[in-house]
Amino acid sequence: MSSSNSSLNWIYQKIREPLDRLALVLIGIFTVVMIALLVGGNHSAPRIRNFSWQNQQVGSDDRAFILTFSRPMNHSSVAENLRIDPSLPGKISWAGRRMAYTLNQPIPYGQNFELQLQGARDLFAKPGEIKSLSEPFIGSFCSRDRAFVYLGASPEDRGQLVLYNLTRTRARILTPKDLVVMDYKIYPQGDRILFSAVPRSDSGKARLNPSLYQVSTGISQDCSAQTDSSTTGLKLEQILPTDRYQNLSFDLSPDGKTILVNRINLQNPSDSGLWIVREGRKPQPLGNQPGGNFLFTPDSKTVAILQGQGVAILPLEPNSEPLDFIPKFEMLFDFTRDGTAAVMGTFNRDIENPTRSLFLVTNQGVETEILRTRGSILDAQFDPTNQIIYCSITKLIDDEEEQQYREEPLIAALDIKTKKLTPLVLLPNQRNLQMSLSPDGLGLLFDQESQNSRSPNTSADQPGNNSRLWLIPLDINAFARENVPQVEPQRLPFVGIKPQWLP
């Protein structure tokens, strides 16, 4: 009994202290508030806490945005009230309070977009509570500019890289006059270009031992910018000089971090092969088995290289053994962006009827012939949806007057599922043809040189003023129809060759 009394006395003494009494009062208040919230629910209005594309510039690789809400939402009310202008069809998925909107097709370039949501309801709203967003949400974002680069062929820009921004209708020469550009690759953000070039001599001719350089494009990466950075200076940097080796073909990895160059020792021609160039490191030879044409795989970790009648997959480590070998293929054209498939070609050596075939090869080892032709296969590129392959092929023509066959290049769209080939444009007087599919799949660029034009592959400063650029407007969904509407190519007011879209 005495122990119980002493405990009560101790508690009585403690609550006589002012701070202890204040603490007890606050604990009681907080307890009542918590009970009220648990019983009565949260009366705060739902709102959008974050929009992942807010004021962002997005490209073809950006396929989904996320809306994060403050409270669980009624899914159907969000879907019914979500508006995007211009329209971007897509699919909605949920993970708790996060809503993901995945586009059905790559975002069209060169546009500004506005997202609106109002009237979306709280999932657990009760009668008398605030049921919808406290105020309409308005977000904005933009897609990258529609822009491309080409190799100039007019007297003013012959052998120089020229950037043309279709969105802002501006042209800009990127490389100096004293360099003659041979070939180039564009970095994944479109902010820089890797190119090979040789000095232009006093006579105007170019020496054929190119160095590798990179140059900035000045293209704007900001939605709020009203113009591109055409008034800023271009940054030119030499990446790989021509010392004891001649630099031949090269490729840039999809992530823009690695360069592969095919080099040959000027003093010892048997010393040749691929060299790897990484930022901040000295170039070094891979030392793998030599081969022919090569192409980075989409993960940027390996390289596919033609070796005889097959394609070897090599790691980017010196003197490493091949990871895989795909036999019988002698042409390597393109990979899907996710790396699940490639398009390759082979020769069918029938003495009486020689042909060439185009194959779809999956990463599971499935090989499907999708095209067989008596002509040549010059190029093949996947569209962004991986449903169409745009081909540059030749049509074999029986010339009765000359008593021989001749080849006429054409550009066509090949439906992978149905194997239907739809010709887009025939180029009867073409010698060299290079094409480039826009990252949103809505335009195809190609160059046209008549047969009296000298080839740019022998000297980059020689193409004549008859080298023209053309644009074919495309509809991704058109080729699924029975009757594909005829599309007229648009001649662009430029004299140039080797066009490439910015990513």
pLDDT score for 154: 92
Into how many domains does the chain fold? Answer: 3
Tokens describing residue 98: 């996060």
Residues recorded for the chain: 503
Residue 6 sits in the same domain as residue 138: no
* CA atoms of 375 and 354, how far apart (whole Å): 9
| The two structure tokens encoding residue 431 | 């010698």
Mean local confidence (pLDDT), 362-376: 93
Same domain, 107 and 26: no
pTM, two decimals, is 0.84
Looking at the fold, whether 380 and 473 belong to one and the same domain comes out as yes
Decide which of 118, 142, 166 is a domain's last residue.
142
Of the pLDDT bands very low, low, confident and very high (cuts 50, 70, 90), residue 56 is very high
Which tokens is 179 given?
Answer: 């360099």
Whole-angstrom Cα distance, residue 181 to residue 151? 7
Q: Do 500 and 375 belong together in one domain?
A: yes
Segment 383-437, tens digit of pLDDT = 999 999 999 999 888 766 665 678 888 999 999 999 999 999 888 767 678 999 9
SS3 75: helix
Indicate which CATH number applies to the domain containing 122: 2.60.40.1220
Helix H, strand E, coil C: the string for 410-466 is: EEEEEECCCCCEEEEEECCCCCCCCEEECCCCCEEEEEECCCCCCCCCCCCCCCCCC
Summarised one tens digit per residue, pLDDT across range 269-311 is 888 889 999 988 899 998 866 667 899 999 999 999 998 789 9
Average pLDDT over residues 159-172: 93
CATH code, 461: 2.130.10.10
Counting Cα atoms < 13 Å in the Cβ hemisphere of 441 gives 22
Q: Greater confidence, 167 or 319?
A: 167
Residues 381, 456: one domain?
A: yes
Q: Do residues 115 and 56 both lie within one domain? A: yes
Q: Are both 99 and 132 inside the same structural domain? A: yes
Q: Give tens-digit pLDDT for 64-82.
A: 999 999 989 999 999 999 9
- Flag whether 188 is in a domain: no
User: In terms of residue numbers, what domain contains 469?
Assistant: 328-503
pLDDT tens per residue, range 10-23: 555 555 566 666 66
The pLDDT value given to residue 227 = 47
Q: For a pLDDT cut of 70, what percent of the chain falls above it?
A: 80
Average pLDDT over every residue of 134-162: 94
Q: What is the pLDDT of residues 113-128, one digit of tens each?
A: 999 999 898 888 765 5
- What's residue 197's pLDDT? 95
- Is residue 449 assigned to a domain? yes
**By mean pLDDT, which of 379-388, 429-438, 468-477 is the weakest?**
429-438
Task: Give the pair of three-digit tokens for residue 255.
Answer: 């992530």
Predicted confidence at residue 458, as pLDDT, reads: 34
Domain annotation covers residue 440: yes
Note whether residue 24 is domain-resident.
yes
Verify that 19 and 82 share a domain, yes or no: no
Query: Model confidence at 220, in pLDDT bands (50, 70, 90)?
Result: confident
User: Tell me, what's the pLDDT at 251?
Assistant: 96
Least confident of 56-60, 79-83, 119-123, 332-336: 119-123
121 lies in the same domain as 29: no
Q: Choose the final residue of a domain: 142, 171, 186.
A: 142
Write down the pLDDT at residue 461: 45
121 falls within a domain: yes
DSSP 8-state class, residue 20: H
For 261, left (φ over 0), alpha (ψ -120 to 50), or beta?
Answer: beta
Judged against a pLDDT cut of 70, whether residue 206 lies above it is answered with no
What pLDDT is recorded for position 37? 53
Assess if residue 210 is contained within a domain.
Answer: no
The pLDDT score that the predictor gives to residue 322 is: 87
Choosing from 126, 142, 158, the residue where a domain stops is 142
Nearest Cα neighbor of 164 from 503, 501, 463 is 501
On whether residue 333 sits in a domain, the answer given is yes
Is 356 in the same domain as 444?
A: yes
User: How, if at all, do strands 137-143 and 57-58 pair?
Assistant: parallel
Residues 494 and 394 in one domain: yes
Distance of alpha carbon 434 from alpha carbon 344, whole angstroms: 18
pLDDT band at 211, cuts 50/70/90? Answer: very high
Residues 33 and 115 in one domain: no
What mean pLDDT do residues 465-471 have? 83
Question: Confidence class of residue 480 from pLDDT cuts 50, 70 and 90?
Answer: low
* Residue 495, pLDDT above cutoff 80: yes
Q: Which among 254, 236, 242, 243 is positioned nearest to 295, based on CA atoms?
A: 254
54: in domain: yes
